[in-house]
Amino acid sequence: SVQRILVTGGAGYIGSHTAKLLRSRGLEPIVYDNLATGNRVSVRWGPFIHGDVLDTVHLARTITQQKPAAIIHFAASAYVGESVKEPSKYYRNNVAGTLSLLDACLQAGVDKIIFSSSCATYGVPAVLPIAETTPQVPINPYGKTKLIAEHMLADYAAAFGLRYVALRYFNACGADPEGELGEWHDPETHLIPRALLAAAGRIERLDVFGDDYDTADGTCVRDYIHVSDLAWAHVLAYEHLVRGGDNIAVNLGTGHGSSVLEILETIDRVTGHSVPIAIHPRRAGDPPALYADPHLARATLGFSPQYSDLETIVRTAARFFGLEAQP
Ligand code: UFG
């Protein structure tokens, strides 16, 4: 019979892209989501169960009934700015939510978890690129909650034999190359969708948060990784656990940083629409530059990005926003 994978947060941006890829690999994604930020229409590749990860009883019952071979745990709150203003929400959803999931796994006898972590766990690194050995010193509640969850995984592994892969995403972006899914947050705070909204005239302009950083063009540098590449890494992480691979925490990035202005230039070139901008002061808590050392994910999972060149990122994202690419 077909192997099931329980996907918490599978109605969200990265979760829905992952569910689609799981299905294409002959696995059945069972999406468990409270729809607080996810979209029901993004659940199209397997059953949907409406539920909250904080509801340990419902979660344990679901796991016992569905008997998934593994759990991929996306469900979390993920706005850095909001986490500063509303830490309670982040400690509840991300820390207590993961604790609830771990206890439900123990009760129901599932021993494989793939966890969505973040480069936000590193804070402002002293050295670039960021390797997994770089000290994790998060500078906001969001990053702290993801780091605490990583520690919980390690402690449950030591105590109970839980097996896990923690995936530290750099900047997720882009959209399903077949145009079936995309990035759809409310409010949308991320650079590429906001820039595309501005290019399409659906918002007045993009505010560029700082052009006086100590970077090549003065704007912040990030490691943009296509959502379908991220999704694929979850399939690889599952296969790693199935073949008895070690518990690991790995970066998912390209190893290459791009500036805000480089992103805007790519949008201009690919869509033929220029992005109207206004230069703003720096946004609190933004490190000048973040990019991954991607070698460990390649060595352990065989991960290598296929869609993460800026042109493909912008082309796929623009299509989802109804902006046609230039021929
Ligand atoms: N930016 C702008 N204008 C905008 C939005 C963003 O100039 O309207 C700039 C930011 O200052 C930053 C870059 O574009 O330099 C990317 O910003 P995003 O908000 O798209 O993403 P972040 O780099 O802030 O991502 C962070 C962490 C991730 C975390 C994510 C959660 O790096 O680890 O927030 O949403 F997961």
Residue 107's pLDDT is 96
Residue 238's pLDDT is 98
The CA–CA distances, whole Å, from 23 to 27, 85, 87, 245, 287 equal: 5, 38, 35, 23, 37
Protein residue closest via CA to atom 10 of ligand 1: 209
* Digit-coded pLDDT (tens) for 65-85: 999 999 999 999 999 999 999
Boundary residue ending a domain (236, 252, 268): 252
Strands 258-259 and 171-173, bridge-based pairing: unpaired
**CATH number of the domain encompassing residue 246:** 3.40.50.720
The ligand 1 atom at the shortest distance from the C-alpha of residue 194 is: 8
Residue 322's pLDDT is 86
Judge if the beta carbon of residue 117 lies within 6 A of ligand 1: no
152 contacts: CB under 8 Å, gap ≥ 6: 95, 98, 99, 102
* Digit-coded pLDDT (tens) for 87-115: 999 999 999 999 999 999 999 999 999 99
ipTM topping 0.90: yes
Q: Are residues 53 and 77 in the same domain?
A: yes
Catalogue the E-assigned strands of the chain: 4-8, 28-33, 48-50, 70-73, 112-118, 163-169, 171-173, 206-209, 221-222, 224-226, 248-252, 258-259, 277-280
Q: CA angle 29-35-37, nearest 5°?
A: 110
Q: Are residues 40 and 150 in the same domain?
A: yes
**CATH number of the domain encompassing residue 218:** 3.90.25.10
- Which residues are paired to 222 by β-bridges? 258
% of the chain surpassing 70 pLDDT = 99
Mean pLDDT of the residues in the chain = 97
Judge if the beta carbon of residue 206 lies within 6 A of ligand 1: yes
Catalytic residues: 142
Residue 76's pLDDT is 98
Protein residue closest via CA to atom 19 of ligand 1: 190
Q: CA angle 323-324-325, nearest 5°?
A: 115
Judge if the beta carbon of residue 207 lies within 6 A of ligand 1: yes
Residue 186's pLDDT is 87
Q: Which of 121, 171, 196 to mutate to test the pocket of ligand 1 (most atoms within 8 A of CB)?
A: 171
Does a structural domain hold residue 200?
yes
Low pLDDT (below 70) residues in the chain: 325, 327
CA of 191 to the centre of ligand 1 (A): 6
Judge if the beta carbon of residue 217 lies within 6 A of ligand 1: no
The ligand 1 atom at the shortest distance from the C-alpha of residue 206 is: 8
Q: Are residues 277 and 301 in the same domain?
A: yes
Residue 327's pLDDT is 67
Residue 303's pLDDT is 98
* Digit-coded pLDDT (tens) for 149-167: 999 999 999 999 999 999 9
Does a structural domain hold residue 314?
yes
